Amino acid sequence: MRFAGCAVYVLTNFNRSVLYVGVTSDLVTRVAQHRSGAFPGSFTARYRVDMLVHFECFDDIYAAIAREKQLKGWTRAKKLALIERDNPSWEDQWERIVS
């Protein structure tokens, strides 16, 4: 089943040196864009940030936007703790959202 609801998501690169927090109304399409480098000049394309390591689903886009702002205000350490709580091995969650 394809996931297309509102979501806040966290991406990283191969070395886990960069974290990117985003919000979308179509998680599968948005992550596919990041993975394919659809926007060559973007931050995520430049740093090859294309591995989905965390996402949270919302029924309401306004709640998702509020959560995105909250996460963006967090320290890196707090974001790492969030990821490691739900995904301790930092597995790419791509297959989870497309299957």
User: pTM of the prediction?
Assistant: 0.94
Q: What is the pLDDT of residues 33-80, one digit of tens each?
A: 999 999 999 999 999 999 999 999 999 999 999 999 999 999 999 999
* Sequence letter at residue 30: R
Tell me, yes or no, whether 1 lies in a domain.
no
Quickly tell me which residue has 């294309």 as its tokens.
Answer: 50
Q: Tell me the two tokens of residue 98.
A: 């497309």
In angstroms, the CA 67 to CA 58 distance is: 10
Q: What is the CATH number of the domain that holds 78?
A: 3.40.1440.10
pLDDT for 13-42, tens place per residue?
Answer: 999 999 999 999 999 999 999 999 999 999
The one-letter code for the residue type at 72 is K
- Say if CB 30 and CB 94 are below 8 A apart: no
Task: Give the number of domains in the chain.
Answer: 1
